[in-house]
Amino acid sequence: MSHASSMPRLRTHANYERLVALAAESHARGRDPFAAAPRDIALARLYCHAFRRHVIGAFHATRRELAAIAVAGPAAPHVARAAESLGDLADRSMDPVERDVKALISSFHHYATHVGRAVESLARACDLADAAAGTPLAVIRERFIAHMEAITAGNGLSLTRDDAAPAQGCFQVPNLGITIVPLVYGDHHSWNLAWLDGAKSDVPCHVHREGVEIHLGYGPLHGHTILGDVKAEVTEGYAMPIPPGTRHGYVNIGSLTHHVPFIFGSLTLGGWGVFLDVDARPTEAGDLEALTVTAAELNGTVFLEREIAAAAAARATLHRTLIPADRTRRDGTGGLELSLAAVVGEPLVLEAERFRAVSIVRGRGTLALAGEEAAIAPHDHFGIPADLPATITARGSEPLVLLDATLR
């Protein structure tokens, strides 16, 4: 077993330990690809996608925190080594997580190795700097470990939540001044949360050149959603599809704090491109034409919470498209397809040619994927890699309602 998996400072699940051992044995035999079973490859893909969200999560934020503190003496080289490992981890952002054994012996092996090195370097730096609990270096180390153990100590089914902005796990968009919480990261699209502190709760107007988006709003809320040259007043949940090159944003009205979940995708940039492909477009909402949410200029915006309520009243399991991919697809960018499902009695099986990002909005249930299970509840998010069937079962008398998105 590799050093990364045996370190006492990082808790690991038996599944994770087995994959680390398989990858190490493969490399010892010249990258022999024959020892991995299909389930091992499926689990490796799941772990890789869980790590991938930290490109703009803990990998980025931890590196930034380390750069902001002064560490001298014998601890300094270990801090530098940790930052280097974090950079190596972030550099995997443009590499696809393959569907075959390369997911294990290339992508997963890279993540496990460099996460282990980062943890080891941070621990050694703390020892040499006599960093007691509560000191900046010790806090950075413990936060990073907590983010990694949320993945390594799990069975491979990594759930994230949209009800908080975790310390040292978010990204600040420099030219917009908003905080992004990364939730689910596939190969070409992602599900995120714009965490907007305070009553202002605005998303400054901006444009994506090669990215497409869907903004989601949940009540209670009151504001103007902006698309192109128009605005629409919203007082209830909505989902707005945004093509590339189209100005968009949100202006809050009143004192209700409104966080904005959003889905971003691009066949040219990848799901992490949201922080690369942003041009600020300062806009005065008062200068825009006011229309209703259902106007054609809003590109097929739907009343999201009305649709969720209708699904919750279903008497049988269903899965249907809310926003088709054509609403956002332009010039090779790909288009985001948003679907709504209700699980009532009969389980729902989700399997697709492309990665799916899933958000649970009502009810409770169980996710079964790659031979593992996890309990799911509102605010949970998870990813389903391409060609891996996921079975979702409701628990209790209330229907389980979810949203899922893919880039077509």
Place of tokens 């936060």: 143
pLDDT at 3: 36
**Bridge partners, residue 401, by sequence:** 342, 362
Q: What is the pLDDT of residues 298-311, one digit of tens each?
A: 999 999 999 999 99
In this structure, how many other beta carbons lie within 10 angstroms of the beta carbon of residue 371? 13
Per DSSP, helices labelled H in 68-215 are 76-90, 102, 109-128, 136-152
Listed residue (190, 192, 166, 195) closest to 178, CA to CA:
195
C-alpha distances (whole Å) from 279 to each of 104, 195, 205, 247 are 37, 19, 9, 9
Per-residue confidence (pLDDT) for residue 35, from 0 to 100: 79
pLDDT at residue 403, rounded to an integer: 98
Q: 61-70, 104-113, 277-286, 302-311 — which is least confidently predicted? A: 277-286
For position 5, what pLDDT does the model report? 36
**Rounded mean pLDDT of 354-371?**
97
**Helices assigned H by DSSP within 129-206:** 136-152
- Tokens at 80, concatenated: 């530098």
pLDDT confidence of 173, banded at 50, 70, 90? confident
Tens digit of each residue's pLDDT (9 = 90 or more) over 17-31 = 999 999 999 988 888
Q: Which of 86-95, 215-224, 264-273, 339-348 has the lowest mean pLDDT?
A: 264-273
Which candidate, 64, 47, 91, 41, places its Cα nearest to that of 272? 91
The predicted-structure confidence for 142-157, as pLDDT tens digits, reads as follows 999 999 999 999 999 9
Residue written as token pair 């790590």: 51
Lowest mean pLDDT among 6-20, 92-106, 350-364, 375-389: 6-20
C-beta of residue 283 within 8 angstroms of C-beta of residue 228: no
Predicted pLDDT of residue 153? 98
Burial code of 376-406, b = ≥16 C-beta within 10 A, e = fewer?
Answer: bebebbbbbbbebebebbbeeeebbbbbbbb
Task: Check: CB of residue 383 under 8 Å from CB of residue 342.
Answer: no
The pLDDT assigned to 373 comes to 98
Domains of the chain: 3-156 (1.20.120), 171-304 (2.60.120.10), 311-407 (2.60.120.10)
Provide the residue type at 173 as one letter.
Answer: V
Q: Is residue 397 very low, low, confident or very high in pLDDT (cuts 50, 70, 90)?
A: confident
Q: What average pLDDT does the chain have? A: 92
Q: Which of 144, 126, 145, 147 is nearest to 135 (CA)?
A: 126
- The model's pLDDT over 178-212, given as tens digits with 9 standing for 90+, comes to 899 999 999 899 999 999 876 578 999 999 999 99
- Going across the sheet that includes 160-161, the strands are 160-161, 380-384, 356-362, 400-407, 336-343, 318-323
Query: Regarding predicted confidence, which is higher, 287 or 404?
Result: 404
Sign of the torsion formed by the C-alpha atoms of 5, 8, 14 and 15: negative
Give the C-alpha separation, 167 to 174, whole Å. Answer: 18
Tell me the percentage of the chain whose pLDDT exceeds 70: 96
Query: How many percent of the chain have pLDDT more than 90?
Result: 81
The pTM of this model reads 0.94
pLDDT for the residue 274: 63
Note whether 58 and 144 are within 8 A (CB). Answer: yes
In this structure, are residues 53 and 184 in contact, taking their beta carbons and an 8 Å threshold? yes
Query: What average pLDDT does the segment 105-119 reach?
Result: 96
Distance CA 328, CA 215 (A): 12
Sheet-wide strand order for 230-234: 279-280, 203-207, 248-252, 223-227, 230-234, 289-291
